[in-house]
Chains A and B, each alone.
Chain A
């Protein structure tokens, strides 16, 4: 990384200019990032610690936390499995239509969360042919937990594949070939050679995927039906409490999600630091 200390005098700015630019940067980031983040905790503890923890004991909030954990526990492993398969196929083999496949994998990132939820309502809602059949067989997907999981899996679909791909591509095929030549089976070479090589990339993808899965709002909002205590995830519970003017409750729930975001950032920075050091 280019460092100011080692930069030649001709290729940097005078001290007043530097101080001015750093000052503007810090003010901009404080207005748009720092103060909003700090306000979550300030508002959550606005009436002290007692009401904060009392708010978190709300049975609807607790059931929202459970549903959010359940959703991530299903969505993330599904996308890990897909990410491993996709990265393996794309990074290790050459085939026709590879670029098209890459673009299609990115597609969910380009779709608005509300539309992501809507497509499942169109496909499986009770006014669709498939939804009619499901309704007749008493299988509830839309406005129920399976719909929430489906929509969450859709919006988090590309995360793991996206992070694994460059790692697997950089790694090449020689090590696996060597393992196979030495007599390892395909699965052995995967578990003993491939997986240890991609573990940091995998962890990176998993935490990003998990943060989005637990925090998804728009897509889940469409398919959930928002039944308190049943189909309300934690982000939806923030909205419900906010709409009820229960601000301490809303910000207490939001503070849990903010902590999830901060923990994600810390792990992410750690993984980046690890991979930079290994290079």
Chain B
């Protein structure tokens, strides 16, 4: 009897035989509202109490603009470097064998697993003028720690795994016959890479780039250790928000946070669109 009942219900609604739908969805939505949506809405509610002139005065302040320029500029630059080297790292890790490859492959995720404070403190130690790497740069008047270059270095570290991990699965699933066909038709390796492989890998690289950029925009922990944090010089937006909170300037912090949140949400949307695009491309190709 149970079997026939099950098959009957199945014909009606294939997925509602399992119990716990109301409980699990109810709890999910409740917990999501309590912990994420209600707290996040406070930023927008608080921002709505600001007048347009107040809002604009905070956003157009030279210190705010300098922080935005540094944050967006260094994040974009770091994401570009990560797009280039991420593709290279993914390429060598999937296509070539060399001693220690597996360990290095595991180590690529280090920026995900290492607390940002540790990343910051060790990067500033290594890139300081007397550090392991900094001592070779200082004689050439290249100073990394406690400058804007330091901000860039920290953001490269933080964003490193994103491009590697989005490109790697695509590279692994590529069949060799397309490359062989191109080669037998007389294409050089460089031509095959530029005309055959790169167009296939491009959506994944772009997705990884956007993920790394979005992550870099909000990064705080690693940057504040390696930057000088001086307003108008080495101050990133999250540090500026932190400063305003420390001075109980909640209106100022909120106005800047709203701009950052909107940028992040736009990027989140873009990432979803990119992933959809890249799935479609691969499905077709």
Q: Point out residues on A near B: beta carbons under 8 Å.
A: 1-5, 7-8, 10-14, 17-18, 21-22, 24-26, 28-29, 31-37, 39-40, 43, 81-82, 84-86, 88-90, 92-95, 101, 103-108, 110-115, 118-123, 125, 127-128, 150, 153-154, 157, 173, 176-177, 180-181, 183, 186, 190, 208, 211, 214-218, 221-222, 235-236, 238-239, 242, 250-251, 254, 257-258, 260-262, 264-266, 268-269
Contact = CB atoms under 8 A, between A and B. Distances in A.
B116 to A, nearest CB: 5
A218 B16 contact: no
Interface in B231-285: 237-239, 241-242, 245, 248, 250, 253-254, 257, 260-261, 264-265, 267-268, 272
A257 to B, nearest CB: 5
12 contacts: A33-B107, A35-B133, A37-B122, A82-B31, A89-B25, A122-B39, A122-B250, A123-B42, A157-B35, A242-B121, A258-B114, A262-B113
Given A37-B114, A85-B28, A113-B238, 19 more contacts: A5-B97, A11-B180, A24-B88, A85-B31, A93-B18, A101-B32, A112-B218, A113-B221, A114-B218, A115-B218, A115-B241, A115-B261, A118-B253, A186-B19, A250-B121, A258-B118, A261-B114, A265-B110, A268-B106
Contacts of A250: 121
Interface of B: 2-3, 6, 10, 15-21, 23-25, 27-29, 31-32, 35-40, 42-43, 46, 85, 88-89, 91-98, 104, 106-119, 121-123, 125-126, 131-133, 153, 156-157, 160, 171-172, 174, 176, 179-180, 183-184, 189, 214, 217-221, 225, 237-239, 241-242, 245, 248, 250, 253-254, 257, 260-261, 264-265, 267-268, 272
B15 A173 contact: yes
Contacts of A113: 116, 218-221, 238
| Among all A-B residue pairs, the 4 with the closest Cβ atoms | A215-B115, A112-B218, A217-B221, A218-B220
B221 A235 contact: yes
A21 to B, nearest CB: 5
B118 A33 contact: no
Q: Which of B25, B114, B156, B264 has the most chain A CB atoms closer than 10 A to its own CB? A: B114
Contacts of B265: 110
Contact of A217 (B18, B39, B116, B172): B116
Contacts of A180: 6, 17-19
A90 B15 CA distance: 11
Contact of A118 (B43, B153, B217, B268): B43
A4 to B, nearest CB: 5
Nearest to A182: B2
B121 A254 contact: yes
A86 B126 contact: no
Contact of B117 (A31, A107, A150, A217): A217
A88 B26 CA distance: 11
A186 B20 contact: yes
A114 B238 CA distance: 6
A111 B220 contact: no
- What secondary structure prevails in chain A residues at the interface with B? helix
A2 B95 contact: yes
B50 to A, nearest CB: 13
A11 B176 contact: yes
B122 A107 contact: no
A180 B17 CA distance: 9
A1 B88 contact: no
B184 A10 contact: yes
A222 B97 contact: no
Contacts of B180: 8, 10-11
A110 B115 contact: no
A114 to B, nearest CB: 4
Contact of A268 (B109, B172, B241, B267): B109
Contact of A265 (B95, B107, B189): B107
A269 B157 contact: no
Contact of B242 (A22, A123, A222): A222
A82 B40 contact: no
Contacts of A260: 113, 115
Nearest to A3: B97
Given A115-B43, A216-B115, A37 B110 contact: yes
Contacts of A81: 27
B248 to A, nearest CB: 8
B119 A183 contact: no
